[in-house]
Amino acid sequence: MPRHIIRRIHGIAAFIALMCIVTFWLSTVIVEMFFSYHAVAALKLGILYAFAVLVPAIMATGATGMKLGGKSSTPSIAAKRKRMPFIAANGLLVLIPCAVFLSQRASAGVFDDVFYAVQALELLAGAVNITLMTRSIRDGLGARP
């Protein structure tokens, strides 16, 4: 596949992944602050369904990023390469388990201290991933390996 096509796929997939995380984060804050418990439960379930968009976008971003970056020693590419394991681990070990847990609790109508502690952890981990993903996109836009 031509490099310019891979680059285009990489950019689109990265943008979709970032927008998913930002949308999850913002909608969680808004729904938690202004809407009912039923709306929170619906949102939490909707986020789980939206993983069908997020996960392939992240996979495409990673696969095309590895193809584009290769063994490049360009500082911005090296910075992206160092960030990616943390972004992935944060998503797999914190964000996805939190989303599943919160959806289960919300659908059962359990909005206790544990729910809100996990919600706070999810929002913090989401903010970290938004920051790291944004930095990676910025670095990618400035890099020409």
Average pLDDT estimate for 100-107: 98
Residue 20 domain boundaries:
3-142
Q: Which residue has the tokens 């913090």?
A: 124
Q: What whole-number percentage of the chain has pLDDT above 90? A: 83
Q: Which residue has the tokens 């388990």?
A: 97
- Band (144; pLDDT cuts 50, 70, 90): low
Query: How many domains does the structure of the chain reveal?
Result: 1
Q: Model pTM?
A: 0.92
How far apart are the C-alpha atoms of 22 and 16, rounded to whole Å? 10
Phi-psi region of 109 (alpha: psi -120 to 50; beta: other; left: phi over 0): left
pLDDT at 98 over 70: yes
